[in-house]
């Protein structure tokens, strides 16, 4: 989606989601995919951020 179509609030959410993914998901994504798992710890962090 073009950033021009997003409000400042939505741009901030997008930025935080990307940062979260880089920090918490990308480092373990390959391993989790291989195991077919998605740990509660990651979901907990998502919920704590108000996204779940």
Model pTM?
0.77
pLDDT for the residue 1 = 56
The structure tokens listed for 15 are 């930025």
Domain boundaries, the chain: 8-48
pLDDT for the residue 51 = 85
Handedness of CA 40, 42, 48, 51 (dihedral sign): negative
Cβ distance 24 to 49 under 8 Å?
no
pLDDT for the residue 2 = 65
Q: What is the mean pLDDT of each run of 10 residues along the chain (52 residues)?
A: 82 95 96 92 93 81
Contacts 24+ apart (CB under 8 A), 13-21: 16/49, 17/51, 20/45, 20/46, 20/49
């Amino acid at each position: 989606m073009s950033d021009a179509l997003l409000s400042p609030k939505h741009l901030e959410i997008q930025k935080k989601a990307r940062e979260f993914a880089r920090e918490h998901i990308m480092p373990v994504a390959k391993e989790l995919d291989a195991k077919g798992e998605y740990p509660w710890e990651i979901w907990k962090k998502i919920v704590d951020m108000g996204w779940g």
